[in-house]
Structure 1
Amino acid sequence: MTRVTLTALLLGTSILGTAGMAFAQDTTLTIESWRNDDLPIWQEKLIPAFEAKNPGIKVVFSPSAPTEYNAALNAKLDAGSAGDLITCRPFDASLELFNKGHLASLNDLAGMENFSDVAKSAWQTDDGATTFCVPMASVIHGFIYNKDAFDQLGIAVPTTEAEFFAALDKIKEDGTYIPMAMGTKDLWEAATMGYQNIGPTYWKGEEGRLALIKGEQKLTDPQWVEPFATLAKWKDYLGDGFEAQSYPDSQNLFTLGRAAIYPSGSWEISVFNPQAQFKMGAFAPPVRNAGDACYISDHNDIGIGLNAKSANADAAKTFLTWVASPEFASIYANALPGFFSLNSAPVQMEDPLAQEFVSWREKCKPTIRSTYQILSRGTPNLENETWVKSANVINGTETPEAAAAELQKGLDSWYKPAN
């Protein structure tokens, strides 16, 4: 489908405004985005569905290269030439746009009631008073595993930490597979797939994350140090030379069937599905003890907002209300398995691995990565420093206690809790 056809399709959706009144003439909306790989999904699935219910609004999906998006968008906004709809990165980048007056408040937008506070947290002011983007999708952390390997070795899916390490021991003792495919060379995996994956179980998700922001907890408290201690135990299961192993190396080890478990998240589903020649499953971060509450990092990834200077605000709000609907949620989440709707309405996933991930929402408490909101605005940057410390702990070059102390010292050097 050509861009011209896409334009025609999208333009056909805007005759009806937010109150269902017909526009006198077709209205053209333009969407700014960094997801240039999404164009076929918008052309073939999303736009036709919107048009069917909103004849008269035409939409142009106009992506930029991901690495150029922030600079290009800011230049357009400053020049007054940006599109009506702005695809929103999570947290500070979009908050800055709102603070500069580039994004409109969406507090009164029909459909925003379909999202929880956690879902909206990436696109709100620090006090939570104003939301300025409609949440579109998140990624969920967990562990992907080789079902054939588990069946071959008679391993049940672990639900507790004791079962998890018993499974790793059994895989290691057998010797057929590397127990876990993860390296520390690129640093970020150690934090994203390690610390932020298992950590919420210790600091109790949002309870701990918000307490850290308020200054009521510190990174030197036991619930923040203990995940590092658990990560230190991973070293024995990552295979020879993991310190020099890159992210693509780990992906290849798993998809080639050489490793039994891959600590990661749902974003790998569309990558692994065509590559792995074995059955895959997934399990949530194990709880510490049987009966403990389950927590998952259900991390906000992408939203969409309204250009405050859009000349087509009514039509744009019609589109945003549709983005906030269960219909959009179902289409988008199934078109991009592993990027899950943040809508409160449950979405049945067609991909079985994606469905396994999203099913955890029904039994686990959601949170987001602890470093992403507010706490990484200064120098040293807590997010980037957590990468380094997580890798050091796994490598055995730094103790959990020392790593936590350095992180808290860095945070204290610039961050003063508001209350």
Structure 2
Amino acid sequence: MKVLSLAAAGTLLAACGGGTNAGSTGGGGDMTLTLASVDQGSVEDVVKAFEAANPGVKVNFTTSGADQYQQQIRTQLASGTAPDVMSVWPGNGNPGATYVLAKPGYLLDLSDQPWAAKLPESVKTVAQYEGKTYNGLFGLNAIGAVYNQQAMDKARLTPPSTWTELLAFCRAAAAKGTPAFALGIQDKWVTQLVPYAFVATAVYGDDKDFDKKMQAGQVTFARSAWTTAVAKYQEMANTGCFQQSPLSTSYEASQELAATGKTLGLVQGNWVVALLKKQNPSGTFTLKPLPATDDVAKTLMPAAAGAGYGVNAKAKNKDLALKFVNFVMSPEGMNLFVGKQGGLPSLPDTGFAADPALAEVGKFIKDNRTVPFMDQLWPNAKVQQTMLSGLQEIFSGQSTPDKMLAAMDADYKAGA
């Protein structure tokens, strides 16, 4: 995913095609780099810092949402119109993920870059394909409930820590005329965030080896607590936890609702914090786990490497592309990126001071109470796409959880 992220974000580019065509055509002396990114609200400052550190260099970049980007990037790579550097997700969960793009040879091997050997093992495994590193994964992200503190104060409500409290919170918020959470599932990728937050506890809380059992064919989506997670998603909707018409609300519109206090928050990845602050610079936002049970001690959070950057194997300016990815993976670039996103750096000893919004996430990571984003180790990108479409169809009444989970099982069994 950015989660998504996946995600997430996920996170997660209408101008993407135009940006890649605006790039350079020269050789080694060319000072123009083309870049396509899903890191809206954070890559802009990284680009400025890179240009400032490299006088004469110009970065022509575009940003857009994850859905559009994932649809475009594979086509661009196949047709030779892709940018020099591009957002690439960890693992294997979507059309823009490391395994998916490295397998056909679209990405440059980055194994000999100075940061590659320093990646933590959990990050390295999803940055590599067949033992070679293809992705500069700069940040660790988490999925949870992001609250607008000023809106919460106005409503005189506090973040719920149990499932029962969550439903009561939603009812209380609705009674005050302010929905608890903005939900922008007009953008498909957003549909996964609430179930991912629930699956962390509902599935992995009782079975840390669930992924291994899936790979061995011992368990399935349809016959597991995935059914519980999706049912809780539906119960949230039926309880009035979201604003009206989530299917006609975009990711961008959901940000506006949460940032301005029209809702008390939204369920998203930490990357949304920078975007909320951009719309409401005086606002205070905090990320908390979304509770799936009434046992606080069992609550887990999805937390894993978010989207990073890969180099086009046919980049027109390969040297400058490598220079940019190495800047992103340097302490300066990494700290700037995760600082803007409200994330955490993937490498230790960068001197990073975490955003107070992430205080609880840092504690969960330290206490080993996190699980990877669910899609990162799925055998193909189709599983996630089936889930995203299925969740939209559930919300529109065109499908059911049983049908969606059965279809996900079929795609999973199809393998790579």
Partner of 2:245: 242
Matches within 5 A, 1:149-298: 149-172=151-174, 174-182=175-183, 184-191=185-192, 193-204=193-204, 207-235=209-237, 236-238=239-241, 241-242=244-245, 244-247=247-250, 248-276=252-280, 278-286=283-291, 288=293, 289-292=295-298, 294-298=300-304
Structure 2 residue aligned with 1:331, among 326, 333, 336? 336
Contact 2:180–2:241 (CA under 8 A) maintained in structure 1:
yes
Q: Which residue is 1:389 aligned to? A: 390
3-state SS of 2:266 partner:
strand
The letter for the 1-side match of 2:309 is G
Alpha carbons 1:158, 1:283 under 8 Å: kept: no
Does the 8 Å contact 1:337/1:351 carry over to 2?
Answer: no
**Aligned counterparts of 1:309 and 1:237: Cα–Cα separation in 2:** 49
Q: 1-side partners of 2:158 and 2:296: how far apart?
A: 15
Aligned equivalent of 1:12 = none
The superposition leaves residues 112-140 of structure 1 with CA deviations (integer Å, 9 ceiling, x where unpaired) of: 23322332344322xx5222222133543
Matched with 1:407 is 408
Structure 2 counterpart SS, 1:87 = strand
Alpha-carbon distance between aligned partners in 2 of 1:366 and 1:89, rounded to the nearest angstrom: 22
| Residues 256/113 of structure 1: CA separation in 2 closer, same or farther (3 Å cut) | same
CA contact (8 A) 1:300 1:368 kept: no
Q: Deviations over 1:169-194 (max 9, x none)?
A: 3323x423112222555544322x22
**Cα 1:308–1:123, aligned 2, differ >3 Å: closer, same or farther?**
farther
Gap change, CA 1:176 and 1:110, over 3 Å in 2: same
In structure 2, the residue matched to 1:303 is: 309
Change (3 A) 1:75 1:339: farther
Segments of 5+ residues of structure 2 without an aligned counterpart are: 1-27
Q: Distance in 1 between matches of 2:221 and 2:168?
A: 29
| Mapping of residues 22-37 of structure 1, within 5 Å | 31-35=33-37
What is the rounded CA distance, in whole Å, between the counterparts of 1:152 and 1:273 in structure 2? Answer: 18
Give the partner amino acid of 1:330: N
- 1:117 corresponds to 2:115: no
Whole-angstrom CA distance in 1 between matches of 2:31 and 2:138: 18
Which SS does the other structure have where 1:219 is aligned? coil
- Which is greater in Rg? 1
Report runs of 4+ in structure 1 exceeding 6 Å deviation: 26-30, 36-39, 308-313, 315-319
Deviates more, 1:64-73 or 1:135-144: 64-73
Aligned length: 370
Evaluate the alpha carbon distance shift between residue 347 and residue 28 of structure 1 in structure 2; reply closer, same or farther with a 3 A threshold.
farther
TM-score by length of 2: 0.71
On the 8 A contact 1:325/1:343 being kept in 2, the answer is no
CA change 1:183–1:278 in 2 (3 A) is same
Deviation at 1:263, TM superposition (A): 1.3
Deviations 1:42-74 (A, max 9, x none): 45423555x6xxxxx986534467656554455
Counterpart code for 1:389: G
With normalisation by structure 1, the TM-score equals 0.71
Q: 1:142 aligns with which of 144, 150, 153?
A: 144
The alpha carbon displacement at 1:101 in A equals 4.1
**Residues 416/384 of structure 1: CA separation in 2 closer, same or farther (3 Å cut):** closer
Pair 1:348-2:346 in alignment? no
Q: Give the deviation of 1:283 after TM superposition.
A: 1.0
For residue 96 of structure 1, report the CA deviation from its aligned partner: 5.0
Q: Give distance in 2, aligned partners of 1:365 and 1:59.
A: 43
Provide, for residues 336-385 of structure 1, a one-character-per-residue CA deviation record: whole Å limited to 9, x for no partner.
Answer: 324653224466357543666566533454444323544444xxx32222
2:24 maps to what in 1?
none
2:373 matches 1:369: yes
* C-alpha displacement of 1:34: 0.3
The percentage of counterpart residues that share the same residue type is: 14
Q: Which amino acid aligns with 1:171?
A: A
RMSD: 4.0
